Structure 1
Amino acid sequence: MVKHLNPLYRKAIALGTGVVVAASLLACSAPNAASSPSSATSAPAPATPAPKTRKVTNAEHELVFHVVDGKLPALVLDAGGGLGSSYWKDMAPRLAKATGSKVVTYDRAGEGESDEISGPWRVENAVSDLEAGLRELGLTKNVVLVSHSIAGEVATNFVHKNPGWVSGAVLVDANVPDFFTDEMLTAFEPVIEKQRAALLTQASTKKNRQLLAVMVDYAPVHRVFHQLTWPKDVPVTAIVASGTPFADSPEAAKMWRDAQVRFAQGPNRKHVLAENTTHEGIVTERPEIIAGAVDDVLKTIR
């Protein structure tokens, strides 16, 4: 039985929404040492193309996608709950330059510049929105998902619903089915209800509305998620932050780490521990680990 989970309770919503915030560099070229004093310095490396914004309508709401042009496979970066495409503002150009791939970031419904929608948050709706955007961009194959926190749920459901679209994935301290056992969900239920009641007393904000939407039917929704498995034919790397979302609860942190290890077992799966990182800051704290994992996946599928 799970005991002493008050710290876990304080973090419960962070897991479901990814509200715990979790997102590099263009080098100048140096002068050519072999050149004569009169020769010009070497030309700078080509600049990464500026992202282009595309607006996509799905189910009567508008979604905003940003695309850096490049070759396939395309990298689709999906941030945690409460976060928009700006989460990847440093990572996206780094990956575009390092890989030459097309890089896509976007705002899920209710986040960033995309429209809000009423009703509870449902992963099926998030998957439908991503499908609509990728179809509009002509990306129905050769896609690599890079998914943080709650976007792990979107990724897992997406690969099941759309076989053949996704060639590989990198999960960045992401929600994986193995974590959401009955034991954990039973522990979550009372705190979710308590925090839901507290949020209802506060001013309505975009962030609060997203939190409330995720809380609806939290346990039954995640019991369904717990039943999913990652397809064996899609390579996936699970990067785990050493800090985990439960920095103040060693017991819960161990459960999170153990679930990530279980998830990574089997063919076409890798587990990477990102030392000296937090759940919310891993993208800026150790961007080279994410870039390396993406490069490994690309080498596997190209």
Structure 2
Amino acid sequence: MITNQGHKLAFYVTPGRLPAIVLDAGGGLDASYWNKIVPVLAEDTGSEIITYDRSGEGRSSDVPGPWRAQNAASDLAAGLTQLGVTKDAVLVSHSLAGEIATYFVNEHPHWIVGAVLVDASLPEFYTPSETARIVAANQQQIAALRQQPQTRATRQLLAEADNYGPVHLAYHAMAWPQNVPAIAIVSSQTPFPTPLDAGLWRQAQQEFVSAAPNRHLIVAEHSSHDIPLDRPDVVISAVQEMVNQVR
């Protein structure tokens, strides 16, 4: 357990050598999301493996107020600092954790030697028109959540929805550092049921990898947005590739 800005966060470590592999799950998920992948990566790479529960998830403390990726990036930095992992790390980020990764690598570009972004939420996706469409589509669901008895899960969803439009328009202005290699994995289904949004999600992934020569795209065939569960082999292979590239 580590403490950052008054709240506690649970980190889980499998000992090994550098580069350390840091796994960050998507929204509403905790470190257990990676349970099937961690032992395979540990055995295949010999690397130190780090997972953690973000604030409001798993064994970590709830934090009142809006959820912000910048605050989550600060939590991750505090944990890695206490663990002595401030260089030679490979970051593996799923879904919402792509936003955390983007802020994190901009704040600490020399800590991360490479990243695997697993159907990650990338800045390129959040154009003004797409952000407005998401906000409009989610209004009814958010209103219904506010009427329900509050649980830990609903509080987290509402915290993530707070001021969603302006937050993601600001995120759209972010860019991944050119010097940090990345592999982007996109699912065949994407997180969106509508063809328009799914196409824009795929387009954003392609735009991201096209922006620098040290990035490339992998399609996880026959997979939902939950690639680590549906196609753990694809994630493991990509992480192994990145580790071999930077070791």
Which structure 1 residue ranges, 4+ long, deviate > 6 Å from structure 2?
none
How far apart, in 2, do the equivalents of 1:277 and 1:188 lie? Answer: 23
Residues 128-277 of structure 1 mapped to structure 2, 5 A cutoff = 128-246=74-192, 248-265=193-210, 266-277=212-223
How far apart, in 2, do the equivalents of 1:192 and 1:277 lie? Answer: 24
Offset, 1:160: 0.1
Residues 1-302 of structure 1 mapped to structure 2, 5 A cutoff = 55-246=1-192, 248-265=193-210, 266-280=212-226, 282-302=227-247
Unaligned runs of 5+ in 1: 1-54
Query: C-alpha deviations, 1:209-247, integer Å up to 9, x for none?
Result: 00100111101111111111111111100000001111x
**Length-normalised TM-score, structure 2:** 0.97
Between 210-219 and 185-194, report the one with greater CA deviation: 185-194
Offset, 1:186: 1.1
Identical aligned pairs, as a percentage?
50
Unaligned runs of 5+ in 2: none
Q: Which of the two has greater helix per residue?
A: 2
Query: C-alpha deviations, 1:67-120, integer Å up to 9, x for none?
Result: 000000000000001000000011111111110000000000001110000000
How far apart, in 1, do the equivalents of 2:199 and 2:69 lie? Answer: 26
Offset, 1:289: 1.1
Offset, 1:193: 3.0
SS at match of 1:110: coil
- The residue type paired with residue 115 of structure 1 is S
SS at match of 1:135: helix
Query: C-alpha deviations, 1:7-40, integer Å up to 9, x for none?
Result: xxxxxxxxxxxxxxxxxxxxxxxxxxxxxxxxxx
Instruction: Quote the RMSD (CA, aligned, Å).
Output: 0.9
The number of aligned residues is: 246
SS at match of 2:10: strand
**Length-normalised TM-score, structure 1:** 0.80
Offset, 1:191: 3.0
Offset, 1:188: 1.8
- The residue type paired with residue 132 of structure 1 is A
